[in-house]
Structure 1
Amino acid sequence: MRNTTFPLTLYYDSACPLCDGEMRNLMLRNTAGLLNFVDIADPAFDAPPPNTNREQLMTLMHGLTTDGRVLRGVEVFRLAYGAVGIPQVAAITGLPLVAPLSEAIYARIARHRYLVPRWLSNLIFGTVLRRAAERAARANCANGNCALPRR
């Protein structure tokens, strides 16, 4: 059976400290190359996925599968974290009672993401999760000479 989801293209806002931190952590863990990253805050960005526009992309996380499906919200994170070897995120956020709650919480955070203090985002993504992601990337590196993205 042919995989029609991966590589999954993630559309993210690098101007948002939360978004940028999370994507950088996913980039570090993306040792299998199942994710592609498109920065919609880049002034040169001009290729939104089908039937979307930049304004919609700035509202919620979007992903584009290889077969052209456009995904939105927590579903994108479920697939992304599963692709980088953290299926627990998908499992937890996909539970019947948790799924609608996680969508609602994510939508609220996404709307107010610029209100999160930079220091808090840096503490979470720049320190704790980044170190974990770097350890995971090194552990998964087959040749021992991995190029890790730098901030």
Structure 2
Amino acid sequence: MTESSPVSVYYDGACPVCSREIEAYRRLTPEEAVRWVDVSSCSADELGEGLDRTQALGVFHLRDASGQVLSGVDAFIALWARVPGLGLAARLAALPPSRFILEVGYRVFLRVRPLWRKGR
């Protein structure tokens, strides 16, 4: 995947925390670099091959330019690598100690996220 190839980011727009975070990334990222897909309101066709709504609502996903689907911390790292100003964060997050801490933190977040989700 090259930095200029478009990717698709799948996020839960019914989660206020998720939506605010995605909005921050959108403000920093060139429009043509990322296709933002709100899984809570998109059509099944917009999810593409190999990704269903239940999966996409359960964990953050990113489909790279080659069609590979990344999820969780791997998806965040891939997104951060594309967002201007977050390249260093992506490189640091990819290091084993950081990745471990992020994985643990993300799993905790996934457990409490349903409490914030609209229409739960």
TM-score between the two structures when normalised by the length of structure 1 = 0.67
The unaligned stretches of length 5 or more in structure 1 are 118-151
Match of 1:82 in 2: 81
User: Residues 92 and 102 (structure 1 numbering): CA distance in 2 closer, same or farther, change over 3 Å?
Assistant: same
Alignment partners' CA distance in 2, 1:60 and 1:108: 12
Are the counterparts in 2 of residues 4 and 65 from structure 1 also a CA contact under 8 Å? no
Are the counterparts in 1 of residues 15 and 116 from structure 2 also a CA contact under 8 Å? no
| Higher Cα Rg, which structure | 1
Match of 2:109 in 1: 109
Q: How well do the aligned residues superpose, as a CA RMSD in angstroms?
A: 2.4
User: Residues 5 and 100 (structure 1 numbering): CA distance in 2 closer, same or farther, change over 3 Å?
Assistant: farther
User: Residues 49 and 106 (structure 1 numbering): CA distance in 2 closer, same or farther, change over 3 Å?
Assistant: farther
**CA positional deviation for 1:32:** 6.1
Divergent runs of 4+, >6 A: none
Are the counterparts in 2 of residues 79 and 90 from structure 1 also a CA contact under 8 Å? yes
User: Residues 81 and 87 (structure 1 numbering): CA distance in 2 closer, same or farther, change over 3 Å?
Assistant: same
Are the counterparts in 2 of residues 7 and 65 from structure 1 also a CA contact under 8 Å? yes
Match of 2:43 in 1: 45
Count of equivalent residues = 116
Q: Once the two structures are aligned, what percentage of the paired residues are identical? A: 25
The AA in structure 1 aligned to 2:43 is F
SS at 2:10 equivalent: strand
Q: Show the 5 A alignment for 1:27-46.
A: 27-31=26-30, 33-42=32-41, 44-46=42-44
Alignment partners' CA distance in 1, 2:83 and 2:99: 20
Match of 2:97 in 1: 97
SS at 1:106 equivalent: helix
**CA positional deviation for 1:13:** 0.7
**CA positional deviation for 1:88:** 2.5
Deviations 1:12-44 (A, max 9, x none): 1111011100111111111263111001111x4
SS at 1:9 equivalent: strand
Are the counterparts in 2 of residues 61 and 76 from structure 1 also a CA contact under 8 Å? yes
